[in-house]
Amino acid sequence: MSPLLRKPFGNHGKVHEITPASAGWRYVGFSLYRLRAGDVAAEATGDREVILVMVEGKAALAAAGQDWGVLGGRTSVFEKTPPHCLYVPNVADWRAVAETDCVIAVCSAPGRSGHPARRIGPDGITLTERGRGTNTRYINNIAMEAEDYADRLLVTEVFTPAGHWSSYPSHRHDEDDFPRITYLEETYYHRLNPASGFGIQRVYTDDGRLDETMAVADGDVVLVPRGHHPCGAPYGFEMYYLNVMAGPLRKWRFVPAPEVEWILKRDA
């Protein structure tokens, strides 16, 4: 199995825990909790900022000395409704008590205490269409650079219809050379509908020194340390993924793969 593909290590409680040390990089962290009603999850942020994403279900959340009430709404991520999220700065803590069975993503990056705790969504998050033809997909931007919610974190959701591609045309963001390109590590948390399905993700560099093609199952996480990283959803299976990106600069600038650059020029 590819070292970039991370399977959940259980089906209850914390089922993913990806740290900079375990990923072999510097910025992005990603954890996932699958809770039953009444379960509690709690963490201190330490030197990292966090965005909690209610992927599914509802939970009562307290963070940074405040009670944020019950967050969450959709019972299935494939409802495509805007998510309920919470930004928690570094040197703080958070606690979630599951009101229903729920899935909570914990997205993290180094923090500087530059932003206060705050709710993100569902207001202000609108499902938007991107691409054309079988490259069409749908985006819920949670905290991209237009939203000044975070020090380093960039977080978004993508829904890819069956038979379509996304994170495509292939592109990379693995050099610190703004404004041409920015260095951003990235994780993909995948879900499939039906859950018995699979998707495809390839991570590759122009020189071929990294070239991994992975079949992703429902609940898998893929690491993108560098290179291009397109995803495909086979006919019959809808794909969702939650992207977490972070690097030295909170900007998303990318360079397309040479073999697909003509597609971007045609569609411009």
Each residue's pLDDT tens digit, 65-87: 999 999 999 999 999 999 999 99
Take residue 56 and report the two structure tokens written for it: 């599914």
- What's the CATH code of the domain at 111? 2.60.120.10
- Kindly report, residue by residue over 39-58, the tens digit of the pLDDT: 999 999 999 999 999 999 99
- The CA distance from 168 to 214, in Å, is 16
The contacts of residue 177 (CB under 8 Å, 6+ apart) are none
Global confidence as pTM:
0.97
- The CA distance from 41 to 47, in Å, is 19
Range of the domain at 167: 5-267
pLDDT tens, N- to C-terminus, the chain (268 residues)? 899 999 999 999 999 999 999 999 999 999 999 999 999 999 999 999 999 999 999 999 999 999 999 999 999 999 999 999 999 999 999 999 999 999 999 999 999 987 999 999 999 999 999 999 999 999 999 999 988 889 999 999 999 999 999 999 999 999 999 999 999 999 999 999 999 999 999 999 999 999 999 999 999 999 999 999 999 999 999 999 999 999 999 999 999 999 998 988 787 5
Residue-wise DSSP of 189-244 = EEEEESTT-EEEEEEE-TTSSSEEEEEEETT-EEEESSSB--EE--TT-EEEEEEE
The contacts of residue 220 (CB under 8 Å, 6+ apart) are 5, 6, 7, 8, 189, 190
User: Residue 268's pLDDT is what?
Assistant: 59
How many domains are contained in the chain? 1
* DSSP strands (E only) in 39-98: 40-44, 48-56, 59-63, 66-71, 84-88, 93-98
